[in-house]
């Protein structure tokens, strides 16, 4: 039985992940580091198998002590932020020094993140920082001697664009404007249910040997353009939904909005991601898709069904409010 440490336990993936880990007979203890133990404890199920630890994973000495003290053998690493690379490298050092962690499950991104693809072929020079860090970390796992020969194993999960991103656009779609505000572009993007990502983490943790040294994409085989998404939401809501255009004027507006809501560097970073959506398709191969099905033990959840179900819920809310 495994003792697993999970980062970002209160996030989009962590929320469905913790209940699934509790259902698994292969998981003995679940350790959840956080800078606010009281808040996290109020957000998760109560179980004697869960330990919430107050401290920062940015402190390499502290997290190393946690690994050793609690006998952690599996780590699910899900990080984001401008300091992601710095934190990840320090955490890898703590893993290697601890001697007890044997398997790492690393959350990357869907698609080919090899350097030749990112720097030359696919991305064409537009590389958002939150994407580039995934390339660096994937290469570190694949190429560095401590990970290749140190008796530790890793699995990379590559999820596509979350279904739940669409929920941020509820006000714009149900309102008079009828606008889907995310400029997805015309090439097509795979979509993923966060519960499928959570399930993938559990399946790997239950049998890491089978999935060691592999990158497994998680998401739909189908890809969806701005036109596709507009049509799906129009049908679900029974009204015309217009998708925000992926052009310079709208991206200028979006960058300013995100920069004001978060920080200016994030506004530019997210803008570059959307610029990529207009240049390349974010999809997976048939082989990737079959590997995903084998891991999950099922077909991935349907984005189209998610839109239908969510649209029906929103229509009921509108009707009951009238």
Token pair in block for residue 280: 């390349």
**For residues 94-105, average pLDDT:** 95
Q: How confident is the model at residue 121 (pLDDT cuts 50, 70, 90)?
A: low
Q: What is the pLDDT of residues 255-285, one digit of tens each?
A: 999 999 999 999 999 999 999 999 889 999 9
Least confident of 39-43, 121-125, 195-199, 307-311: 121-125
**For residues 125-133, average pLDDT:** 85
User: Is the CB of residue 34 less than 8 Å from the CB of residue 63?
Assistant: no
Task: State the Cα torsion 89-93-99-104 to the nearest 10°.
Answer: 0
CA distance 216 to 207: 14
SS3 45: coil
Q: How confident is the model at residue 120 (pLDDT cuts 50, 70, 90)?
A: low
Q: What secondary structure letter does DSSP report for 28?
A: E
Instruction: Say yes or no to pLDDT of 133 above 70.
Output: yes
**For residues 193-207, average pLDDT:** 98
Q: Residues in the chain, how many?
A: 322
Predicted local confidence at residue 322, as pLDDT: 77
Instruction: Say yes or no to pLDDT of 123 above 80.
Output: no
128 versus 300: which is more confidently predicted?
300
Q: How confident is the model at residue 7 (pLDDT cuts 50, 70, 90)?
A: very high
User: Is the CB of residue 243 less than 8 Å from the CB of residue 153?
Assistant: no
Q: Where are the alpha helices (DSSP H) in 55-128?
A: 60-69, 84-98, 115-116
Round the average pLDDT of the chain to a whole number and report it. Answer: 94
User: Is the CB of residue 244 less than 8 Å from the CB of residue 251?
Assistant: no
Token pair in block for residue 63: 């997290």
Q: What sign for the dihedral angle of Cα 155, 160, 161, 164?
A: negative
Q: What is the pLDDT of residues 78-91, one digit of tens each?
A: 999 899 999 999 99
Percent of the chain with pLDDT over 70: 98
Per-residue CA distances from 93 to 29, 58, 87, 90, 147 (Å): 23, 12, 10, 5, 11
If residue 192 lies in a helix (H) or strand (E), which one and from where to where?
A: strand 191-192
Task: State the Cα torsion 274-76-100-212 to the nearest 10°.
Answer: -80
User: Is the CB of residue 69 less than 8 Å from the CB of residue 5?
Assistant: no
Predicted local confidence at residue 260, as pLDDT: 96
**For residues 287-305, average pLDDT:** 98
**For residues 24-33, average pLDDT:** 98
CB contact burial 16-25 (16+ within 10 A = b; e otherwise): bbbebbeebe
Q: How confident is the model at residue 122 (pLDDT cuts 50, 70, 90)?
A: low
Predicted local confidence at residue 243, as pLDDT: 96
Instruction: Say yes or no to pLDDT of 30 above 70.
Output: yes
Count CB neighbours of 173 within 10 A. Answer: 24
Q: What is the pLDDT of residues 164-177, one digit of tens each?
A: 999 999 999 999 99
């Amino acid at each position: 039985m495994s003792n697993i440490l999970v980062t970002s336990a209160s996030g989009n993936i962590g929320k469905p992940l913790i209940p699934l880990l509790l259902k698994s007979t292969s998981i003995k203890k679940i350790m959840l580091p956080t800078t606010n133990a009281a808040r996290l404890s109020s957000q998760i199920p109560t179980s004697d198998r869960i330990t919430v630890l107050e401290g920062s994973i940015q402190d390499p000495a502290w997290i190393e002590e946690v690994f050793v003290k609690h006998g952690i053998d599996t780590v699910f690493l899900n990080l984001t932020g401008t300091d992601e690379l710095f934190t990840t490298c320090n955490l890898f050092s703590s893993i290697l020094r601890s001697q007890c962690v044997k398997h790492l499950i690393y959350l990357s991104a869907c698609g080919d993140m090899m350097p030749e693809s990112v720097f030359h072929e696919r991305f064409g020079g537009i590389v958002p920082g939150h994407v580039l860090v995934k390339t660096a970390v994937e290469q570190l796992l694949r190429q560095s001697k401590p990970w290749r020969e140190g008796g530790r194993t890793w699995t990379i999960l590559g999820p596509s664009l979350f279904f739940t991103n669409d929920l941020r656009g509820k006000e714009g779609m149900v309102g008079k404007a009828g606008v889907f505000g995310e400029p997805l572009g015309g090439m097509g993007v795979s979509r993923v249910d966060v519960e499928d990502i959570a399930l993938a983490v559990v399946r790997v943790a239950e049998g890491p040997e089978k999935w060691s040294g592999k990158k497994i994409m998680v998401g739909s085989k189908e890809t969806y353009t701005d036109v596709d998404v507009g049509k799906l939401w129009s049908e679900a809501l029974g009204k015309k939904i217009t998708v925000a255009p992926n052009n310079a004027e709208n991206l200028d507006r979006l960058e300013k909005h995100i920069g004001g809501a978060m920080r200016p560097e994030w506004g530019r970073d997210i803008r570059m991601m959307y610029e990529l959506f207009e240049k390349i398709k974010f999809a997976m191969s048939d082989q990737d898709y079959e590997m995903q099905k084998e891991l999950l033990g099922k077909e991935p959840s349907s984005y189209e069904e998610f839109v239908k179900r969510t649209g029906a819920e929103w229509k009921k809310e509108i009707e009951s409010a009238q």
